[in-house]
Structure 1
């Protein structure tokens, strides 16, 4: 039995080394990323610094296509909130069509919250041409590409969040956190108003900038034993408290109370969370997501972003994980055909 551990190290070492140049983030799954000796020498800090520098370089090449007011707000805060992103005369019809659409759905429980997703796939786009037009808008696409740092197509879903669903465990999404050590895009187009006490999106303004005190904090956290901290932080999605924000000279998180038809686009390397809700709520949105290897220098060259392929990726990802469930798990359970909202949500 004692011989198995060295053998495993020999087999896995080339993979662990190769992952240093990728988006791999778990200090638990890769002993090089979690090595206190290597991180004391600056491994994690340098990965963070280089990833941020590469993102800034790519964004400079994408900036000219983004409306100036949107770009300036994002550069300053790490997110941008755009009210009435859909012309007000068109939004009610789009909202009604999205809420009435029925398609294959998946659900995941985290603590006392349930997330339901319907993939924006070829069937949905064929049935909802107004949604297709929205996602094809040049200004929206340019903003998505700029925040992601790549000219690639995000994954799109119709997402429903149901809070206070009866479980006793806390919702881990309510803890302030960063998704990874590098930039990625998340976006929400809210179909209903969201008040400050009904699970709003929360964000710490300016926390997306990987420089100065934030880099120093990343260095300090990399020195902790990954087996002695909370599991989500050890797996590369660090949780933060008020003391951490003070150490980074960052302000408290803002709760974004928004009206319906508001698009919020954020870089989730910044600290963010789902705000608490004082009552059970059902939040419905068009949700978009994009993350790529941060060390890639080119902007595009992603075959899966091509029309005809891009809108099929969610289905392929779900199916692949179904087949590999025994080895990688599958938190997204099939729940049959559903609408985004309603009594069965």
Structure 2
């Protein structure tokens, strides 16, 4: 079977495949000693920087400078106050088809921003179609693609759970990806704010050396999430990469954060069980593609249906690939959260 699958495994080296645990080539200590992982990281980073140079002219200079320096951008009062009030109230007071997942002591609820919601909440559609916002999304993701958009609610500190794995500093992958949060409520330090290590999106020589050393580790000997390609990092690792401690971003409502989650980030440890509610956006693509667009799933009429299709696909093949996002019927984003 290994011989039969060998051509597929070789082709996957030119994709976003990242699991050291499940992929015989990516997880090969022998190949990584020869530089396989380090080469994939170096090429992916070079391609990302090349694409970003082509997208840079469309992004307001102060946003671009903040991102290039820190790896994230913070934009307060990103929506006009009147529009934001209408947007928030229309979303929070209505019920929508929802899914939930529990990790450790936290429940995450997601509601797809689909055609129904965009029709019901025109203020949301206007925000997500803004040219400046999309130019920033494209620059951070390094692709001219439409992100997946959700309304996301996070409820921490539930009884009977272990530590939320999202609270451990980590990178999502070995290459750039974009996540964004438009906070519908203020986020204090007690609420578990988004946390980021400034400058960790850059693949410096120190980061490359750290990537090389971790590629030589037996994937069976480390935590499962790191072994599957989302490496965790501690204070010692940050020091080796000459990176500062992480910053917790306590921010007011109507603030947008756009970040490259190839940098080290985490969900801050919450001190209460309050809800964090946000518009959450996500974009990741094959890091080795030498073009900017060409994504058929970003076509209007298709883009807003992708989340529903993805959930339905995983429901259909749950036995084979698992489905962590369980349907909980129509729910409001706030209140009525279940523990279980």
User: Which residue number corresponds to residue 82 of structure 2?
Assistant: 89
1:215 paired with 2:215, answer no
- Any stretches of 5+ residues in structure 1 without a counterpart? 1-7
User: Which residue number corresponds to residue 203 of structure 1?
Assistant: 196
User: Which residue number corresponds to residue 41 of structure 1?
Assistant: 34
User: Which residue number corresponds to residue 20 of structure 1?
Assistant: 13
Q: Distance in 2 between matches of 1:168 and 1:95?
A: 30
1:125 paired with 2:118, answer yes
1:59-208 to 2 correspondences below 5 Å: 59-208=52-201
User: Which residue number corresponds to residue 344 of structure 1?
Assistant: 337
1:248 paired with 2:241, answer yes
1:52-82: CA deviation from partner (whole Å, max 9, x where unpaired): 1100000111111111111100000000110
1:333 paired with 2:326, answer yes
CA RMSD of aligned residues (A): 0.8
Post-superposition offset of 1:156: 0.1
1:112-146: CA deviation from partner (whole Å, max 9, x where unpaired): 00000000001111111110000000000000000
Q: Distance in 2 between matches of 1:114 and 1:140?
A: 29
| Partner secondary structure for residue 209 of structure 1 | coil
Q: Distance in 2 between matches of 1:344 and 1:80?
A: 30
Q: Distance in 2 between matches of 1:135 and 1:173?
A: 26
Post-superposition offset of 1:12: 1.5
Q: TM-score, normalization: structure 1?
A: 0.97
Q: TM-score, normalization: structure 2?
A: 0.98
- Any stretches of 5+ residues in structure 2 without a counterpart? none
The ranges of structure 1 where at least 4 consecutive aligned residues each deviate by more than 2 angstroms after the TM superposition are none
